[in-house]
Amino acid sequence: MDYLSELHKIKSKYEEARIYYFNQKGKRDQLLEQKSKLEDTLQRIADNIDVLDKVRVLLQKVSEFAREQSRQQIEVFVTNCLQFIFESNIEFKIEINESRGRPEAEFYVVSNFYGETVKTKPQEARGGGVVDIISLAVRIAMLQCSNLDTKGPIILDEPAKHVSDEYIIQVAEFLKQVSSMFDRQVIMVTHNKHLSEIADKWYRIEMVGGISRIANDS
């Protein structure tokens, strides 16, 4: 009787162990399956990260190339404008540096005096006239160099306000060439007689009783 009782206990423990084994084996198989799926997901994520890194580098290179192209175009345009108006050996330079992960541009005027190269900020070069011309030329250059399909006239408010009469005729001729070259109408507000006289159509505005009125036109 004791022998049968012991045998029954052994069978019972064996059955419990067998059930426990298969339960644990099932859990292990599930974990292995989850591990395999997670590894596949991790690999896909790693592949995506690699692709995104390559795209980021590509876009950065494209951005740098486009930025460099724009920089060169603006430099050439503004330099030609300065040399046309002031008739001297003067160049416009843009230096682009990274600050906090963003590009920042500094503008300079490079002149040659008696064989010596002088590099200054626009506001420090030959008075306000140079600043006015650079501001005018940069705005036009940026408008033409941008990828935006921006049409319509160029609207100017007192351009070349601080340019002396010695150079104002060249400014007027420059604006005429800009209008012709880029096929854009130039609408300008000015007190300068030389600039107004180059216009195909001009209006003189007078203040009468606090109201602006057209005095005459031509």
Report the pLDDT value the prediction gives residue 170, as an integer from 0 to 100: 92
Mean pLDDT for the stretch of residues 41-68 = 79
Q: Is residue 144 part of a domain?
A: no
Q: Which residue has the higher pLDDT, 170 or 102?
A: 170
Q: What percent of the chain has pLDDT over 90?
A: 12
How many domains does the chain divide into? 1
Q: Using only the alpha carbons of the chain, give its radius of gyration.
A: 38
The model's confidence at residue 112, banded by pLDDT at 50, 70 and 90, is: confident
Query: Which residues in 54-143 belong to E strands, given as ranges?
Result: 90-99, 102-113, 116-120
Whether 89 maps to a domain, the answer reads no
Tell whether 38 is covered by a domain.
no
Higher pLDDT, 59 or 96: 96
Q: Which residues, at least 6 apart from 114, have a Cβ–Cβ distance to it below 8 Å?
A: none
* Of residues 215, 149, 202, 148, the one with CA closest to residue 175: 202
Residue 32: inside a domain, yes or no? no
Question: Average pLDDT of 140-168?
Answer: 81
Question: Can you give the residue range of the structural domain that contains 198?
Answer: 152-218
| Residue located via tokens 């994520």 | 45
Mean pLDDT of 161-173: 89
* Position 34 in a domain: no
Token pair 């070349």 is found at 160
Q: What percent of the chain has pLDDT over 70?
A: 92
pLDDT at 148: 58
Q: What is the mean pLDDT of the chain?
A: 83
Which residue bears the tokens 């250059």?
Answer: 141
Q: What pLDDT is recorded for position 1? A: 52
pLDDT for residue 150: 67
pLDDT at 52 over 80: no
Token digits for 59? 């876009």
Q: Comparing 115 with 93, which gets the higher pLDDT?
A: 93
HSE-up of 190 (CA within 13 Å, CB side)?
A: 22
| CATH number of the domain to which 177 belongs | 3.40.50.300
Given a cut of 60, whether residue 159 has pLDDT beyond it is yes
Q: What pLDDT is stored for residue 50 in this prediction?
A: 81
More confident residue, 99 or 26: 26
Tally the C-alpha atoms within 13 A of residue 15's C-alpha that lie toward its C-beta.
6
- The pLDDT of 146-170, averaged and rounded, is 82
Tell me whether residue 189 is in a domain: yes
Q: Is residue 186 part of a domain?
A: yes
